[in-house]
């Protein structure tokens, strides 16, 4: 293992070295860096050209310039040095501070899109595999193909032009006519009926229940003015937490008497977690990332402890599901806090809470939750735009991989020895179907980054896409190389992690 990682790291180092060299030469050759000055005819033309030549070292041949750039990068690797700049751009400003401001917003976008696409894509893929050749399957297949075929920038512009404006208008005055309510409820009913499937009776039942539930929920939310002052509240956290706890236990442990204890410990975690969250309310006002992670640790710890204490003969499983419930409670806590700070952000953005330009509201001066709410609201539309393609990829691969697994002999064996359907699907099929996804996530990362470059342009973010684009337009290699260094290292590391994860998940593979 250690040998494998070391060898791969060494190989990766040379690969990154080679690709930076290739990229540097290509960027340097991509145009004339003095292009704009040669057309300029004002005073001081010669000095400007001389300045630019000095800034970009144009009197050194390209391989030499690459050497100089490598030297600048080397200064960042050498410990103790404080002249780490990643080179200067053509105006003589160091690149590193620019990269540092750019990397945060891009990373947020890429991570949010990947996580969301992975969650939704895997769930949709599993359900379509289980309901192969159903209406839902065909529907999702068509949507996936459509997502594959959508140009990112086109979708982004559409979202910006139509969704953002309409949504903001609606949020300013959140009312719905009865007809609209009814329409939403009916659509929700049809969707659920199609997803659940089954006999005609079941379908009608599902349709009726989900339509009614949607209608009542929306009606209540609208009449209580929830959309202008949203929050979950203690009751909301408790009810949703208990519901999720029940769901996790039912899904991963089953509700039969043998594993009934898992359900109890999981529900207990949700209940105790709610109490802890209520008790910790004074902490919420000056939260920082450190206290947030401590809080998450406490909640997960409660879950694990509850599982170990009350789990009986299924201790391990109960502890695992307790941990999952703990994470759920953390998420609920964060959602509750962020929803509560929504009115502040709403006022700060002048009543247009879904922004279409920039990655944060300037001069917000909010606390931890308010800042994060603002960031999250800025993420909504760009994330939606770039997750479409990843979503399509994940759905198709999960579906194919799940179908592949369901046809394996060991699944037939599991059925033949009388295991119930839940165990067969969750424990025997689902886990194995996820293995190929490890590689896919690493590979898809580069794709999401490409999408981010385009999306950032549409939404006017000054992220890494901007760094790359202006750098390339100006034939200014150092900013482009800063962008590229980050993506190349990330890609190489992701691939390494994927290989290790693959070997860990599939014992048939040995790292050597």
Q: Binding of other proteins at residue 202 (CB under 8 A)? A: no
Beta bridge partners of 94: 88
Please tell me whether residue 446 binds other proteins under the rule CB under 8 A.
yes
> Given candidates 161, 169, 216, 288, which one binds other proteins under the rule CB under 8 A?
161
Specify the stretch interacting with other proteins by CB under 8 A; choose among 22-30, 175-183, 186-194, 311-319.
Answer: 22-30
By beta-carbon proximity to other proteins, the closer residue of 16 and 276 is: 16
Backbone angles phi, psi at 94, to 5 degrees: -65, 145
Among 94-102, 188-196, 266-274, 468-476, the segment contacting other proteins (CB under 8 A): 468-476
Which one of 29-37, 43-51, 229-237, 360-368 is the stretch in contact with other proteins (CB under 8 A)?
Answer: 29-37
- 117-to-125, 147, 340, 390 alpha-carbon distances in Å: 11, 12, 26, 6
Query: Going residue by residue from 382 to 421, which x/- string records binding to other proteins, judged by CB under 8 A?
Result: ---------------------x---x--------------
Cβ proximity to other proteins, 269 vs 487, nearer residue: 487
The two three-digit tokens of residue 178, written as one number: 């009865």
Q: Which stretch binds other proteins (CB under 8 A): 177-185, 207-215, 377-385, 482-490?
A: 482-490
Asked whether position 5 contacts other proteins by CB under 8 A, the answer is no
Least distance from other proteins to the Cβ atom of residue 165, Å? 10
496 belongs to the binding site for other proteins (CB under 8 A): no
Instruction: Figure out which of the listed residues 469, 500, 501, 502 binds other proteins, where binding follows CB under 8 A.
Output: 469
Distance of closest approach, residue 259 Cβ to other proteins, in angstroms: 32
Q: How near is the Cβ of 51 to other proteins at its closest, in Å?
A: 23
The distance of closest approach from Cβ of residue 85 to other proteins in the complex, given in angstroms and rounded to an integer, is 22
> Per CB under 8 A, which region of 45-53, 307-315, 343-351, 447-455 contacts other proteins?
447-455
- DSSP SS3 for 253: coil
Contacting other proteins (CB under 8 A), which of 31, 63, 92, 358? 31
Choice between 262 and 452, CB closer to other proteins: 452
Q: What are phi and psi of 256, to 5 degrees?
A: -70, 160
**Minimum separation from the CB atom of position 160 to other proteins (A):** 9
The distance of closest approach from Cβ of residue 148 to other proteins in the complex, given in angstroms and rounded to an integer, is 5
Distances (CA, A) of 158 to 376, 382, 453, 455, 479: 20, 11, 17, 12, 30
What's the CA gap between 354 and 411, in Å, rounded?
Answer: 47
**Residue of 255, 210, 458, 40 lying closest to 202 (CA atoms):** 210
Residue selected from 27, 195, 277, 339 as contacting other proteins according to rule CB under 8 A: 27
How many residues appear in the chain? 512
8 Å CB contact between 28 and 475: yes
Tell me how many degrees the CA angle 269-271-272 measures, rounded to the nearest 5: 65
Q: What does the alpha-carbon distance between residue 368 and residue 374 come to, in Å, rounded to a whole number?
A: 10
Residues 6+ apart with CB under 8 A from 388: 147, 150, 152, 155
Check binding of 39 to other proteins (CB under 8 A). no
Contacts of 236 (CB under 8 A, 6+ apart): 336
Q: Which stretch binds other proteins (CB under 8 A): 28-36, 69-77, 83-91, 424-432?
A: 28-36
Quick one: which of 130, 152, 262, 381 contacts other proteins (CB under 8 A)?
152
Report the distance separating Cα 72 and Cα 19, nearest Å: 17
**Quick check: 185 binds other proteins (CB under 8 A)?**
no
User: Is the CB of 273 or the CB of 463 nearer to other proteins?
Assistant: 463
Using only the alpha carbons of the chain, give its radius of gyration: 27
Instruction: Decide: is 50 part of the binding site for other proteins (CB under 8 A).
Output: no
DSSP letters for 290-346:
HHHHHHHHHHHHHHHHHHHHH-GGGHHHHHHHHHHHHHHHHHHHHHHHHHHTHHHHH
Please identify, among the stretches 42-50, 89-97, 157-165, 300-308, the one whose residues bind other proteins according to the rule CB under 8 A.
Answer: 157-165
- Cα 86 from Cα 95, distance rounded (Å): 6
Helix 368-406 vs helix 135-148: crossing angle, to nearest 10: 120
Query: Can you tell me the distance from the alpha carbon of 217 to that of 215, in angstroms, rounded to the nearest whole number?
Result: 6
Please state the closest distance from residue 500 (CB atom) to other proteins, in A.
17
Asked whether the beta carbons of 491 and 445 are under 8 A apart, the reply is yes
Nearer Cβ to other proteins, position 28 or 333?
28
CA distance linking residue 239 with residue 319, whole number of Å: 21
Report 123-142 residues binding other proteins (CB under 8 A): none
Q: For helices 368-406 and 95-130, what crossing angle results, to 10°?
A: 40
Q: CB of residue 88 vs other proteins: minimum separation in angstroms?
A: 21
Size of the site for other proteins (CB under 8 A): 43
Q: Does 462 bind other proteins (CB under 8 A)?
A: no
Query: Which range of residues in 117-125, 193-201, 229-237, 483-491 is near other proteins by CB under 8 A?
Result: 483-491
Please state the separation of Cα 463 from the chain's center in Å. Answer: 17
Residues lying near other proteins in the complex (CB under 8 A): 15-16, 18-19, 22-23, 26-27, 29-31, 145-146, 148-154, 157-158, 161, 403, 407, 446-447, 449-450, 453-454, 457, 468-469, 472-473, 480, 483-484, 487-488, 491-492
């Amino acid at each position: 293992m250690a040998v494998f990682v070391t060898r791969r790291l060494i190989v990766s180092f040379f690969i990154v070295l080679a690709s930076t060299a290739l990229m540097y030469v290509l960027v340097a050759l991509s145009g004339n860096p003095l292009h704009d000055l040669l057309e300029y005819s004002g005073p001081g033309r010669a000095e400007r050209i001389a300045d630019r030549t000095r800034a970009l070292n144009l009197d050194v041949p390209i391989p030499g310039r690459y050497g100089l750039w490598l030297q600048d990068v080397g200064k960042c690797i050498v410990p103790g040095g404080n002249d780490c700049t990643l080179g200067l751009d053509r105006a003589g400003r160091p690149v590193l501070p620019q990269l540092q401001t750019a990397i945060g917003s891009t990373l947020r976008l890429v991570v949010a899109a990947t996580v969301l696409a992975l969650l939704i894509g895997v769930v949709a893929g599993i359900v379509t595999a289980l309901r192969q050749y159903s209406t839902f399957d065909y529907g999702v297949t068509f949507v996936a193909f459509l997502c594959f075929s959508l140009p990112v920038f086109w979708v982004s512009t559409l979202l910006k032009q139509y969704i953002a404006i309409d949504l903001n208008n609606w949020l300013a005055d959140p009312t719905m006519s009865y007809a609209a309510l009814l329409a939403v409820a009916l659509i929700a009913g049809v969707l659920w009926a199609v997803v659940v499937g089954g006999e005609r009776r079941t379908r009608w039942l599902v349709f009726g229940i989900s339509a009614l539930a949607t209608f009542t929920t929306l009606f209540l939310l609208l009449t209580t003015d929830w959309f202008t002052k949203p929050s979950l509240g203690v009751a909301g956290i408790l009810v949703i937490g208990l519901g999720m706890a029940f769901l996790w236990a039912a899904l991963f442990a089953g509700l039969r008497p043998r594993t009934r204890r898992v359900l109890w410990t999981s529900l207990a975690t949700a209940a105790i977690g709610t109490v802890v969250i209520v008790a910790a309310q004074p902490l919420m006002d000056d939260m920082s990332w450190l206290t947030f992670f401590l809080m998450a640790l406490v909640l997960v710890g409660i879950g694990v402890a509850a599982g170990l204490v009350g789990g009986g003969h299924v201790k391990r499983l109960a502890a695992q599901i307790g941990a999952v419930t703990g994470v759920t409670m953390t998420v609920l806590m964060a959602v509750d806090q962020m929803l509560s700070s929504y009115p502040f952000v709403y006022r700060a953005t002048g009543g247009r809470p879904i922004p279409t330009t920039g990655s944060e509201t300037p001069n917000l001066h909010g606390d931890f939750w308010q800042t994060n709410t603002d960031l999250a609201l800025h993420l909504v539309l760009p994330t939606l735009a770039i997750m479409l393609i990843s979503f399509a990829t994940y759905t198709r691969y999960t579906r194919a991989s799940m179908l592949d697994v369901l046809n394996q002999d060991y699944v037939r064996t599991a059925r033949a020895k009388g295991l119930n359907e839940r165990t067969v699907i969750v424990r025997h099929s689902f886990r194995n179907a996820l293995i190929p996804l490890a590689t896919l996530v690493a590979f898809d990362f580069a794709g999401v980054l490409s999408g981010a470059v385009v999306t950032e342009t549409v939404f006017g973010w000054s992220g890494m896409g901007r760094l790359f684009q202006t750098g390339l337009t100006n034939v200014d290699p150092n900013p482009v190389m800063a962008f590229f260094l980050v993506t190349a290292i990330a890609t190489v590391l992701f691939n390494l992690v994927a290989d290790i994860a693959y070997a860990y998940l599939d014992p048939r593979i040995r790292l050597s």
